[in-house]
Structures are given as structure tokens and as C-alpha cells.
Amino acid sequence: MIIPVPATSSSACKQDMPLINFQKGLNKMESLFHNRNKDKVVVIMGATGTGKTKLAIDLAKHFQPAEIVNSDKMQIYKGLDITTNKVTEKECDGVPHHLLGVFDPNSNFTANDFCYHACSAIDSIVEKDGLPIIAGGSNSYLDALVNHCSEFRLRYECCFLWVDVLPPVLHSSLQSRVDRMIEAGQLDEVREFFDPLSDYTKGIRRAIGVPEFHDFLIAEANSADERTKKRLLEDAIARLKINNCTLANRQVQKIRRLNGMWKRSMYRLDATETHLKRGSYASKESWEDNVLAKSLVILYNFLYGETRIRSRMSAMVQKRRQVYLLVKHF
């Protein structure tokens, strides 16, 4: 069994922090996520770079107390925070994360290990009356947990949110992301980790962004001329872009397969427009309308049922009416 190593990563957010903003005043009756036969778990799926992490955090802040369980097989490991695109402490915004940057990068963390650690993280969240949100791109981990882990199947009921972006739009986003990662210092990060004799089939070294730099780093270590190094670096970056797009395509294929099994509780959220408008205020609006608002409706239904949505909606309408009357009065 793989044991977590102590986290010292500066960029990834803290593990198992004490819950903040715990919604005081919720009594047992109001322990909304856990009042049925099975406890509820939200699962956020999607290809790399679609916005799973952001959705998980936005939802966690909405359904407090909630905590996120990472299901990205490379972000599980300690180190290479830029390369594996780990969420930063700032982005976490106080939402506790589990299984993020905690395992030995040279170990081989398996789907079975994931089931064991994910189950215990989820149990601990539920014990605190929190909502567990699993988020990450490793569909083999989700398949193992949801379809093959009997402990999980017996205790939990899932709602799957699939963040999807049309391939040409996603591919363009992924290529820009590679450029941003390089600007953020990915090469230095990989150089520090580089071992010419390393096995690229084990642990974190399988991550896209590690093997691609091998030839360049060897040339650099052998003091190759500038022209050769420049060419090898450009080749590595080009391969990085292609490999990210290939990974995204493979992930979508796997999600479609899982959707065949889970379609009654799986919802596709189209974030294409958000990506197309990237960098503008319209992108934020599009995210809120097309992804976040839709997810909220789906999750209110999943967590509280129709009746609760209706009573919450009428409470909202009533509140708005009170505000209207106040404004009119003054």
C-alpha cells in the first residue's frame, strides 16, 4: 500500500486543512447531503484543460462544507506542480483538497491504491458532514472506484458532471496552456527533476512534459551547440502540444464509454463558449451561465430533490420581492 509522503509543495494547496466557513446552524435534520440511504458524492469529469478544477472549487464554495478529492493520476504525486498543472493554493481559495501532491513521485500509484485512499478521504469528509467532490481526468481511477470498489458502491451515490469543450477549441486552449506553462518555468522544473537514466514508465515521470524534454536535456548536459538545443527545445514543445491534444481525445473517448454506463446520472456541460471567449469578461459570464448555473441546478436536484429546489426557489423569489419593496419604499 502506498503511503503519502509529507507535503512540502509550495504551489499545490494544503491537504486536509480544517474546514473553513463551516456553515454553522445546520442541525442533523439539515445535514442535507447525508439524509438518504446512500451518501452523495459529486464527480467532475472532463478532458485535460476543460475547467474541472475551477468547477470543483466553485461548487465546493457553494455547497459548503465541501472538500475535493483529486482523481488525476499525475497530480497525485508530489512535485512537478507546473508540469502536472496542479491547482495553486490561491486557486484553492480555502477549499480543502485530498490526494493532491502527496505520494512519492517514484512510486507506482495504482487504481487500487486510488480506491483505498479515495474511499478513506471520502469517509472522512462525510463524517464531518461535508460534501465530497471528486475531480480529475483519470477515468481509469473513476472506473475502478465507481464500478469495481464494492465498499464505495454500497455506501455512495454519485452525480457525474462532464465538462466538455469541442475538440478544435480545446486543442487551441491546450496549445496556449503549454506556452503559459513554459513561461511559468516548466523547463526549469523538469530540469531539476531530470535523471538521464530515469524510467519514463514509472510514477510521475510518465507525465506529459517529462519524457518530451529528454533529448533536449541530454543535449544541454553534453554542452551541445545553441542551434541544436534550440531545435530540440522547439521539437519538445511541439510534441508537448500534440501529446496534450492526443490525451484530451483519449480522455473524451473514455468518458463517452463511461457515459454509456452512467448516463442516468451523468450530465454534459458545454464550456466551448467559455474557452472561445477566453481572457474576456464574456468568458466569465459564459462560465457562470453555461457551466456553473447548470451544475447548480443539477446538484440542487441531486442533493435536495425537487421539493427542496422549489422551496429554495420560492425563498429566493420572496427575498427578491422584499428587496424590491425596500427599494421602492426609499
Binding region for ligand ATP (CB under 6 A): 72-75, 84-85, 137-140, 206-209, 247, 251, 254
- Nearest approach in angstroms of CB 290 to ligand ATP is 24
Cβ-closest position to ligand ATP = 140
- Nearest approach in angstroms of CB 83 to ligand ATP is 6
Is the CB of 244 or the CB of 286 nearer to ligand ATP?
A: 244
Alpha carbon distance 278, 286 (integer Å): 10
Is the CB of 49 or the CB of 130 nearer to ligand ATP?
A: 49
Is the CB of 74 or the CB of 92 nearer to ligand ATP?
A: 74
Is the CB of 206 or the CB of 294 nearer to ligand ATP?
A: 206
For residue 173, the SS3 value is: helix
Alpha carbon distance 173, 275 (integer Å): 7
Alpha carbon distance 310, 316 (integer Å): 10
Q: 194 near 301, Cβ under 8 Å? A: no
Torsion of CA 248, 273, 264, 156, to 10 degrees: 70
- Nearest approach in angstroms of CB 119 to ligand ATP is 18
Is the CB of 255 or the CB of 271 nearer to ligand ATP?
A: 255
Distances (CA, A) of 25 to 15, 28, 29: 26, 10, 11
- Nearest approach in angstroms of CB 146 to ligand ATP is 13
Task: Tell me the helix, strand and coil percentages in the chain, rounded to 5.
Answer: 55, 10, 30
- Nearest approach in angstroms of CB 302 to ligand ATP is 24
Q: 232 near 215, Cβ under 8 Å? A: yes
- Cell numbers at 176, concatenated: 496556449
- Nearest approach in angstroms of CB 144 to ligand ATP is 9
Alpha carbon distance 231, 223 (integer Å): 14
Is the CB of 39 or the CB of 81 nearer to ligand ATP?
A: 81
Distances (CA, A) of 258 to 66, 140, 248: 25, 10, 15
